[in-house]
């Protein structure tokens, strides 16, 4: 199991940040590399990430939803099973968001590349939460 985590302080209350996590059309605005996100049924999504010209599809299922404090999801495809844990904590200046991703890779090649993939995932996660901060605070988000 591989773990990545990133936190960010956002100058907006949890009630304003939470919808940016929960709505697929909002995630398209800040998640690094996310190019498609379609709700297939309540709490279930089909998403596509494009990274260095490689498109990867994942199925996403919401497994815990406690607005505006927490949102957890399970992501799966042929090579990956991951859980994403989002925690929003009210602070005197807004919100502290912590995102933790636990990933397990399936198949010999995926497991062999896991270390490299995980380092890249950490960088992508850090950029994504920074994009979210910018979006929530009304700044331009680079794409």
The two counts, helices (H) then strands (E), for the chain are 4, 7
With beta carbons less than 8 A apart as the criterion, state whether 2 and 78 touch: no
Query: What pLDDT does residue 52 have?
Result: 81
All domains of the chain in start order, with CATH: 2-31+64-136 (3.30.530.20)
Q: Which tokens is 56 given?
A: 């990867």
Q: What is the pLDDT of residue 110?
A: 52
Local structure of 60: helix, strand or coil: strand
* Distance (Å, whole) CA 31 – CA 37: 11
Yes or no: say if 97 and 132 are a contact pair by the CB < 8 Å rule.
yes
Stretches where the chain sits below pLDDT 70 are: 107-120, 143
Q: pLDDT at position 54, please?
A: 86
């Amino acid at each position: 199991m591989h773990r990545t985590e990133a936190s960010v302080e956002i100058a907006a209350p949890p009630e304003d940040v939470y919808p940016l996590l929960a709505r697929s059309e909002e995630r398209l605005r800040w998640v690094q590399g996310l190019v498609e996100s379609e709700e297939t049924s309540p709490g279930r999504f089909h998403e596509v990430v494009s990274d260095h010209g490689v498109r990867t599809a994942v199925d996403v299922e919401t497994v815990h939803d406690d607005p505006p404090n927490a949102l957890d999801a399970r992501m799966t495809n042929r090579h990956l099973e991951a859980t994403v844990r989002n925690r929003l904590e009210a602070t005197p200046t807004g919100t502290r968001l912590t995102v933790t991703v636990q990933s397990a890779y399936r198949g010999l090649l995926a497991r062999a590349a896991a270390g490299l993939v995980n380092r890249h995932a950490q960088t992508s996660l850090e950029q994504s939460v920074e994009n979210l901060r910018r979006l929530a605070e009304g700044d331009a988000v680079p794409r």
